[in-house]
């Protein structure tokens, strides 16, 4: 929960930075409600919608890479801009659909929702599953149904535009000719030996005239000769002795980096009830279904249920049964923070440990470099005093570690 709150806070920071940076963006207007991130025509993109879009991009990135990513890193790779561009494109279509009077009725909205695989129960559409899924995604029923209505309308607009466009023949021919166009070149090297007769030696007057016309080619630009003194951490790092206790403290502070617990590659499929989870497990055990089929039947992909590599601490009460598996397999139903679930273990990542002695050289180099930087900082006042007293670079080199 603490991680989730911290993530949400970071997302709001991104929104504030984004609002400042959007001054030159195609989306306009940040007036009115402080919950509005941008507007396209009459369509507003609110902050909650933007948060969900960025969060979806981050989760998709983490699923694809198998590694967690901070929101600072997400901004660095442009996930926030991708989310915004998708929202702006969707808002532009929604605005145009509204201008053209394209809309979807309640019956069309209800039909699409009732056919969504994620909301199906044993006998078809299950409203309790529907409401729980929306609650877990942070979306209210009216918000979701309005989004579905908008998606249907913009889908009609996309279909109408796409179906009505034929590429002109002249465009196809021009593009094809440009792509396939080539040039054939024949060339020969000419040297002084190929001239019918040698060139005459230039006269003094001709040389003088050429020089006068091209003096810039024979003039060296003005230069300055400088003398400087400098000091870098690498220049003094070999002079520094690192205390054993300091190395031990540094190792302990980074223990999670050097000591990795045993981990498992795990997928998790959550069910509404214990009975549903037990029935699914029974189907796997008697080979009437598979874990992949169960995921597909729910309208999900394996990426949606992938937890990545996790430790026992990450899995809570389900850890013991999962870590008891020596080879890939499915266990469950087991508890999770979302309800009863089946877990598929796909691989074992052995524990690893880098001992203090193995890490000593790395820690020593890091501690010495840090100490060298601090020594240089502490030397600055002495250097400033020497310069104020008229010392030149030679004096600095004599009285300090500078070279």
Spatial CB neighbours of 220, under 8 Å, sequence gap ≥ 6: none
Task: Indicate the domain borders of the chain.
Answer: 1-101, 103-159, 233-254+355-399, 262-350
The mean pLDDT value of the chain amounts to 77
CA distance 16 to 3: 20
Class of domain 262-350 (CATH, top level): alpha beta
- Residue 32 reports pLDDT greater than 60: no
Q: Report pLDDT for 15.
A: 41
Spatial CB neighbours of 265, under 8 Å, sequence gap ≥ 6: 308, 309, 345, 346, 347, 348, 349
38: which strand partners?
45
Tens digit of each residue's pLDDT (9 = 90 or more) over 366-378? 777 778 788 878 8
Give the rounded percent of residues in the chain with a pLDDT score beyond 70.
88
DSSP strand E in 164-240: where? none
CA distance 280 to 268: 13
Q: Report pLDDT for 227.
A: 80
- Residue 27 reports pLDDT greater than 50: no
Tens digit of each residue's pLDDT (9 = 90 or more) over 34-72? 467 778 888 888 777 777 788 888 888 877 777 777 767
Cβ atoms within 10 Å of 319's Cβ, excluding its own: 18
Cβ atoms within 10 Å of 338's Cβ, excluding its own: 12
Q: Report pLDDT for 312.
A: 80
Greater model confidence, 34 or 358: 358
CA distance 23 to 38: 10
Tens digit of each residue's pLDDT (9 = 90 or more) over 162-195? 555 566 778 777 777 877 888 889 998 888 888 8
DSSP strand E in 286-399: where? 306-310, 329-334, 341-349, 352-353
SS3 8: helix
Q: Report pLDDT for 165.
A: 59
Task: Give the residue-averaged pLDDT of 343-360.
Answer: 79
- Residue 146 reports pLDDT greater than 80: yes
- Residue 149 reports pLDDT greater than 80: yes
Task: Say if CB 375 and CB 367 are below 8 A apart.
Answer: no
What pTM does this model have? 0.34
Q: Report pLDDT for 164.
A: 57
Q: How far is the first Cα of the chain from the last one, in angstroms, to the nearest whole number?
A: 54
SS3 16: helix
Q: Report pLDDT for 78.
A: 83
Tens digit of each residue's pLDDT (9 = 90 or more) over 270-279? 888 888 888 8
CA distance 126 to 130: 6
- Residue 132 reports pLDDT greater than 50: yes
Tens digit of each residue's pLDDT (9 = 90 or more) over 103-131? 777 788 788 888 888 787 766 777 877 87
Q: Report pLDDT for 161.
A: 63
Of the pLDDT bands very low, low, confident and very high (cuts 50, 70, 90), residue 14 is very low
Q: Report pLDDT for 10.
A: 41
In this structure, of 292-301, 335-344, 392-401, the range with the lowest mean pLDDT score is 392-401
Task: Give the residue-averaged pLDDT of 223-242.
Answer: 79
- Residue 33 reports pLDDT greater than 70: no
Alpha-carbon Rg of the chain, whole angstroms?
A: 34
């Amino acid at each position: 929960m603490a991680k989730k709150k911290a993530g949400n806070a970071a997302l709001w920071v991104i929104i504030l930075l984004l609002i400042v940076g959007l001054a030159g963006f195609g989306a306009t207007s940040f007036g009115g409600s402080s919950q509005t991130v941008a507007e396209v025509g009459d369509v507003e993109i609110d902050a909650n919608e933007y948060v969900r879009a960025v969060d979806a991009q981050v989760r998709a990135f983490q699923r694809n890479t198998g590694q967690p990513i901070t929101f600072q890193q997400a901004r660095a790779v442009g996930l926030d801009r991708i989310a915004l561009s998708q929202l702006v494109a969707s808002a532009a279509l929604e605005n145009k659909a509204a201008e053209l009077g394209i809309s979807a009725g309640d019956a069309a909205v209800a039909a699409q929702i009732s056919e969504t695989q994620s909301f199906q129960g044993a006998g078809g559409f299950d409203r309790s599953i529907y409401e729980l899924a929306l609650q877990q995604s942070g979306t209210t029923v009216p918000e979701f149904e309005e989004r579905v209505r908008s998606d249907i309308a913009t889908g009609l607009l996309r279909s109408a535009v796409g179906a009505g466009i034929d590429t002109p023949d002249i465009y196809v021919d021009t593009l094809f000719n440009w792509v396939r166009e080539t040039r054939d070149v024949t060339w020969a090297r000419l040297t002084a030996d190929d001239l019918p007769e040698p060139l005459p030696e230039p006269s003094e007057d001709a040389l003088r005239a050429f020089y006068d016309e091209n003096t810039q080619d024979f003039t060296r630009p003005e230069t300055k000769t400088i003398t400087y003194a400098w000091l870098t951490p690498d220049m003094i790092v070999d002079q520094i002795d690192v205390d054993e206790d300091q190395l031990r403290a540094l190792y302990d502070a980074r223990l999670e980096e050097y000591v990795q617990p045993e981990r498992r590659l795990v997928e998790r499929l959550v069910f509404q009830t214990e009975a549903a989870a037990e029935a699914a497990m029974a189907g796997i055990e008697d080979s009437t279904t598979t874990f992949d089929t169960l995921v597909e039947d729910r309208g999900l992909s394996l990426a949606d249920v992938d937890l990545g590599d996790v430790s026992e601490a990450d899995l809570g009460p389900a850890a013991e049964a999962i870590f008891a598996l020596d080879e890939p397999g499915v266990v469950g139903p087991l508890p999770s923070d979302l309800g009863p679930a089946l877990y598929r273990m796909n691989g074992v990542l052995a524990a690893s440990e880098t001992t203090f002695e193995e890490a000593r050289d790395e820690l020593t180099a890091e501690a010495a470099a840090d100490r060298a930087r601090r020594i240089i900082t502490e030397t600055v006042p002495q250097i400033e005093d020497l310069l104020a007293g008229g010392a030149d670079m030679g004096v600095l080199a004599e009285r300090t570690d500078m070279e």
